[in-house]
Amino acid sequence: MSAICEVPGGNIAVAETPMLRWVLAYADDALILGHRLSEWCSRAPSMEEDMALANLGLDLLGQARFLYSHAATLENAAQPALERSEDDYAYRRDAPQFRNALLVEQPNGDFAATMVRHMLYASFADLYWRASLAVSDPAIAAFAARSEKEIAYHERHAADWVIRLGDGTAESRRRAQSALDGLLAFADELFETEADQLPLMAAGAIIDPARLRDAYRHRIEQICARATLSLAWPRWHQSGGRQGRHGEHLGHLLAELQFLPRAYPGASW
Amino acid sequence: MYAQALDQTDTRPAQGDDPARLAAFQARIDAEQKIEPNHWMPEAYRRTLIRQIAQHAHSEIIGMQPEGNWITRAPSLRRKVALLAKVQDECGHGLYLYAAAETLGVSRAALVDQLLAGTAKYSSIFNYPTLSWADIGAIGWLVDGAAIMNQIPLCRCSYGPYARAMIRVCKEESFHQRQGYEIICSLAGGTPEQRAMAQDALNRWWWPCLMMFGPPDTESQHSDQSTRWKIKRFSNDELRQTFIDATVPQAHRLGLTLPDPDLHLDQATGHWRYGAIDWAEFRAVLRGEGPCNRDRLARRNAAHAEGEWVREAASAYAAKQNQRKAA
Amino acid sequence: MAEATPDYPLWEVFLRSRNGLAHKHAGSLHAPDATLALAAARDLFTRRGEAISIWVVPSHAIIASDPDDQAMLFEPAESKIYRHPSFYTVPDDVGHM
pLDDT tens track for B265-319: 999 999 999 999 999 999 999 999 999 999 999 999 999 999 999 999 999 999 9
Mean confidence (pLDDT) of chain C: 92
Provide mean pLDDT across the span A171-199. 97
Question: Under a CB-based contact definition with an 8 Å cutoff, are residues B98 and C29 in contact?
Answer: no
The domain tally of chain C equals 1
Which chains would you list as touching B if contact means 3+ CB atom pairs under 8 Å?
A, C
Find the largest Cα–Cα distance for chain C: 77
- Backbone phi, then psi, for A45, in 5-degree steps? -65, -25
Q: Which of C36, C93, C25 is nearest to C62 (CA)?
A: C25
Q: What is residue B13's predicted lDDT score, i.e. its pLDDT? A: 55
A199-256 pLDDT per residue, tens: 999 999 999 999 999 999 999 999 999 999 999 999 999 999 999 999 999 999 999 9
C39 domain-assigned: yes
Q: Is A62 exposed, middle or buried (0-12, 13-18, 19+ CB in 10 A)?
A: middle
Inter-chain residue contact B88 with A164, CB threshold 8 Å: no
3-state secondary structure of B27: helix
What sign has the CA pseudo-torsion B257, B258, B262, B266? negative
Chain A nearest C-alpha distance from B69 (Å): 9
Which secondary-structure segment (H or E) carries A226?
helix A213-226
H/E stretch holding B264 reads: strand B264-266
Give the structural domain span for C52. Answer: 10-89
Mean pLDDT rounded to a whole number for chain A: 96
In a domain, C96, yes or no: no
CATH number at residue C63: 3.10.20.520
| Residue-level length of chain C | 97
Backbone angles phi, psi at B272, to 5 degrees: -85, 125
Q: Return the residue in A46, A50, A153, A165 with the most chain C beta carbons within 10 A, the one to mutate for interface testing.
A: A46
- C-alpha separations of C62 from B96, C9, C25, C26 in Å: 19, 14, 12, 14
Ramachandran class of C7: left when φ > 0, alpha when ψ lies in -120 to 50, beta otherwise: beta
DSSP line for A22-34 = HHHHHHHHHHHHH
By Cβ distance, the residue of B99, B112, B321 closest to C28 is B99
* Nearest partner of B18 among B43, B51, B35, B52, judged by Cα: B43
Within a domain: residue C2? no
- Closest residue in C to A154 (Cα) is C39
Quick one: which of B161, B223, B153 has its CA closest to B11?
B223
Enter the DSSP assignment of A171.
H
Cβ(C15)–Cβ(C26) below 8 Å: yes
Q: What is the CA radius of gyration of chain C?
A: 22
Does the beta carbon of A252 lie under 8 angstroms from any beta carbon of chain B? no
Task: Give long-range contacts, CB 8 A cutoff, 24+ apart: A14-20.
Answer: A14/A71, A14/A75, A14/A89, A14/A93, A14/A97, A15/A75, A15/A78, A15/A79, A17/A74, A17/A78, A18/A194, A18/A196, A18/A197, A18/A199, A18/A200, A19/A74, A19/A197, A19/A200, A19/A205, A19/A206, A20/A71, A20/A74, A20/A75
Reported as a single tens digit per residue, the pLDDT across B60-113 is 999 999 999 999 999 999 999 999 999 999 999 999 999 999 999 999 999 999
**Prediction pTM value:** 0.95
State which H helix or E strand residue B308 sits in.
Answer: helix B308-326
B88 neighbors A41 (Cβ within 8 angstroms) = yes
Determine the pLDDT at residue B11.
58
User: What is the crossing angle of helices A18-38 and B77-102, to 10°?
Assistant: 30
| Cβ–Cβ below 8 Å for A171 and B312 | yes
Q: Is residue C21 part of a domain?
A: yes
B226, B8 Cβ separation under 8 angstroms: yes
* Chain C contact for B278 (CB, 8 A cutoff): no
Residues of C in contact with A160 (CB under 8 A): 35-36, 39
List phi, psi (to 5°) of B216.
-60, 155
pLDDT confidence tier of residue A2, bands split at 50, 70 and 90: very low
Maximum separation of any 2 CA atoms in chain A, in Å: 60
Can you give the pLDDT at residue B15? 65
Exposed/middle/buried for residue C82 (C-beta within 10 Å: 0-12, 13-18, 19+): exposed
How far is residue B324's CA from residue C33's CA, in Å, rounded to a whole number? Answer: 14
What pLDDT does residue B10 have? Answer: 59
Half-sphere exposure of A14 (CA within 13 A, CB side): 30
* pLDDT computed for residue A257 by the predictor: 98
Report CB contact under 8 Å: C47, B92: yes
CA–CA distance, A260 with A240 (Å, rounded to integer): 28
Q: Tell me if the domain spanning A18-263 has CATH number 1.20.1260.10.
A: yes
C-alpha B261, offset from chain centre: 28
- Burial of residue B182 (CB within 10 Å: 0-12, 13-18, 19+) is middle
Q: Is C83 among the domain residues?
A: yes
Q: Is the dihedral of CA B22, B26, B31, B33 positive or negative?
A: positive
Domain regions of chain A by residue span: 18-263
Q: Assign B327 to helix, strand or coil.
A: coil
B8: confidence class by pLDDT, cuts 50, 70, 90: low
C27/B99 CB distance under 8 A: yes
* DSSP summary character for residue A5: P
What are the contacts of B254-262 at 24+ separation with CB within 8 A?
Answer: B254/B184, B254/B185, B254/B188, B254/B189, B254/B198, B255/B188, B256/B184, B256/B188, B256/B198, B256/B199, B256/B202, B257/B199, B257/B202, B258/B202, B258/B206, B259/B202, B259/B203, B259/B206, B259/B207, B260/B206, B260/B207
Q: Do A160 and C32 touch (CB under 8 A)?
A: no
Bridge partners, B159 (sequence order): B35
| pLDDT reported for residue A1 | 43
Which residues have CB under 8 Å from B326's CB, separation 6+? none
| pLDDT per residue as tens digits for the range A106-144 | 999 999 999 999 999 999 999 999 999 999 999 999 999
Give CA separation, A5 vs A83, A243, A258, in Å: 14, 22, 21
**Is the Cβ–Cβ distance between A32 and A130 less than 8 Å?**
no
- Contact partners for chain A, using 3 or more CB pairs closer than 8 A, are B, C
Taking an 8 Å Cβ-Cβ cutoff, which residues of chain C contact chain A?
8, 29-32, 35-36, 39-40, 43-44, 47
Q: Is the Cβ–Cβ distance between A186 and A107 less than 8 Å?
A: no
Spatial neighbors of A25 by CB under 8 A, at least 6 apart, are A99, A100, A101, A194, A242
